[in-house]
Amino acid sequence: MDRNILIDGNNILHRAHAVFVKDRTGPDCMVSPGGYPTGLIYGVLSMLADWIPSISHPTRMVFFLDGVPKRRLAMDPQYKFKEESDMPGKADLPLRLSDGYEARNDLEVIIHVLKLLGADLCHHRDEEADDLIASYVRSHFDDMCVIISSDKDFYQLLAWSDRIVLYRPGVKGNRFFDAERAEEDMLSRYKVRVPPSNIRMFKALTGDPSDGIVGIPRLRKRVAAPLCRFGSVDELYESDFPGFSRAEREKAATLKDRIRLNFDLVGLSDRLDLGPILQKSVPDFAAASKILKEDLGITTVYSHIFQFGNTGKVRLSPASSFDLLPDFLKDI
């Protein structure tokens, strides 16, 4: 059984930019010996090198990148998204690497190095990474999948199988979330239990400011949560909203079209054909090491960390969170 590491590329790019690029000027700015800015490159690769050893026996790594969410924007022009030009690493910064590859910017350097380190790339100019990842998980349903992202939208996928786990960077202690732990996190955050299977309806009703999704104003989450068990908006409205106050019922009735739209926006598309857009890696660890050390002056990211396969095993560091892994991700 394969164990796939699925990386939410935009999520890690923004995290690396915030830590290693933003507000760094003068002597604090990370550059190569030749003066090329390396903060974003170092941030992405060093973070992955730190996180990957926490996962026992991975067999495949895929790096996913956002496109413009055309389907959602067609449904709601106010749907929040970042222009592709706003993605960290897209500014013109050409660099010719020692293997002859000519990168136009540091994002292309990151992608090229990751391919040399064995990562496949998945990107579609009209699709969000969330949907690409959901489709990958669906098409590899018999595999074990570890999604690396701090985006809680992926909690929805944890309802599908106990072979799907979300690794959330930035969480103190155990960073692995299965369905049970995701439900506990929702309880801690909203003071009400919302299992992963109900999160789509919960967000449709209560909204999600991070994506510009407007829910029912001043809706009490404790009365909304029990109704999130319904699998469709029609079923929800046929229930007559038990527990809602008269004011909440009136607002729900007025906002029915908005709730239906929210439900469509929040749901992840999991049937996309990834075959034409999945770019397979051609690993060359020696070339990757040379680029890191000689071209970029990065000497603390080691290519051996990324060397794994069907019979390989990532070397666990002393700081590994191996003991925190769900049992099925440990050696079996």
Residues 56-92 pLDDT 10s: 889 999 999 999 999 999 999 888 765 555 789 999 9
What stretches in the chain show pLDDT beneath 50? 310-323, 328-332
From the list 119, 121, 116, 114, the residue with the least C-alpha distance to 99 is 116
DSSP-assigned beta bridge partners for residue 3: 144
- Decide if 112 contacts 89 (C-beta within 8 A): no
* Nearest Cα to Cα of residue 12 among 65, 57, 54: 65
- pLDDT recorded at residue 83: 55
Provide the pLDDT for residue 326.
Answer: 52
- Report the relative pairing of strands 164-167 and 176-177 from DSSP bridges: antiparallel
Q: All domains of the chain, ordered by start, with CATH?
A: 3-127+272-303 (no CATH), 187-266 (1.10.150)
pLDDT recorded at residue 23: 81
Judge contact between 98 and 291, C-beta under 8 A.
yes
Helix (H, G, I), strand (E, B) or coil at 1: coil
What pLDDT score does 317 carry?
A: 39
- Residue 78's pLDDT is 83
Whole-prediction pTM value?
A: 0.90
Angle separating helix axes 39-51 and 106-116, nearest 10 degrees: 30
Reduced to 3 states (helix: H, G, I; strand: E, B; else coil), residue 278 is strand
| Per-residue confidence (pLDDT) for residue 28, from 0 to 100 | 81
- The residue ranges of DSSP E strands in 51-132, in sequence order, are 60-65, 95-96, 102-103, 119-123
Give the pLDDT of residue 312. Answer: 39
φ, ψ of residue 41 in degrees (nearest 5): -65, -50
Q: What is the pLDDT of residue 211?
A: 83
Tokens representing residue 132 in the block: 């690409």
User: Measured between alpha carbons, how far is residue 294 from residues 1, 94, 283 in Å?
Assistant: 37, 17, 18
Structural contact between residues 194 and 228, judged by C-beta atoms closer than 8 angstroms:
yes
- Please list, in sequence order, all residues whose beta carbon lies within 8 angstroms of the beta carbon of residue 240, skipping any fewer than 6 positions away: 249
